[in-house]
Amino acid sequence: MANRQFEAPTWDAVYSMLVELSKQVRKSGFSPDVIVGVSRGGWPPGRVMSELLENQNLANMKVGKTSSRRR
């Protein structure tokens, strides 16, 4: 496997990015019908974005791995 590098932001950094994103969304005039929090790490940010945009229509989506091999 190749050596992969990634950045793991702190919760404070994630929250700051969500605040900035919510400001951009509001400024654009876009009002989402629903906010989707994707599993494997996206549920908490989805919930925060729901609060920041004052939109209680929050849905969850599960994402998982699939295998092409039959067992």
What is the per-residue pLDDT across 51-64, written as a single tens digit (0 to 9) for each?
Answer: 999 999 999 988 88
Q: Which of 21, 18, 49 is nearest to 36 (CA)?
A: 49
Distance CA 34, CA 30 (A): 12
CA 3 to chain centre: 26
What is the per-residue pLDDT across 16-41, written as a single tens digit (0 to 9) for each?
Answer: 999 999 999 999 999 999 999 998 88
Q: Domain residue spans in the chain?
A: 11-62
In 1-57, where does DSSP find H-type helix?
11-28, 43-52
Mean pLDDT confidence for 10-16: 97
- Are the CB atoms for 57 and 33 separated by under 8 Å? yes
| The token pair that represents 37 in the structure block | 């929090």
pTM of the model: 0.77
pLDDT at 66: 77
